[in-house]
Amino acid sequence: MSVRDIQLSAIDKLYKFDYECYLSLLNTKIDRDLWFDEDISIVNAYYHPLYNAIVIPAGILGGDFYNPEASREFNLAGIGVTVGHEVSHAFDPTGAQFDKDGNFVKWWTDKDFAAFNQRTARLIDHISSMTILEDGTKWRGSYTQDETIADIAGVKVVLKIAAKTEGFNYKDFFTSHALGWKLIATPEKISELAQTDVHPQMYLRCNAVVQLFPEFHETYGTQSGDRMYLSPERIKELEVW
């Protein structure tokens, strides 16, 4: 048996074991202490609506997201924004449909949910107007709205912290934030992600988000006519919260 055959056999057995473990949990009492992530080394974080919990695997606690030797601005731009992003998923259009115990039930008032949807609709229209590929492909705002809203929330939470921090280095923060969204990929891969990924394109997760904050424009002195510029009035129109 070749090395490849051995590897494939091992992977098949692991998937089968994993599948049988999940089957064994059917119709049993929910164990909220059960660890449900397969790989603690991945560089990722996510919100789980059924557990009403955010999961931060150890793999993300390094590099561009967290460095104990780095500045406060650097870490707030990385792991700080990430935590804010994941927490906000409990209140995005999907998370808003699950209660604190992870049950799929309505807990918002009709008035609040309608107002929230009106605000997100304006944001969706705004980002759907953006061309993301040279062939004219547009950003699919409705498909990526949950992640876009969470990206905005993560930055907004940290900027509230910044406002209470004397001498906060906004340029360091925005520069560090951009590092987290760098990506090397072929045009073909970018095109594939544009059609299949619920996350916006990486560079837009930075640019299209930070331009929604006055602090960004104050830091870099953007003016009318600049491609990143948004007027204070337009920024106000696009507020979700």
- The catalytic site residues sit at 86, 151
Element housing 88 (H / E) = helix 81-88
**Cα 55 to Cα 59, 200, 216, distances in angstroms:** 11, 21, 29
Q: Is 131 helix (H, G, I), strand (E, B) or coil?
A: strand
Ranges of beta strands (E only) in the chain are: 46-48, 53-55
* CA–CA gap between residue 25 and residue 23 (Å, rounded): 5
SS3 of residue 182 by DSSP: coil
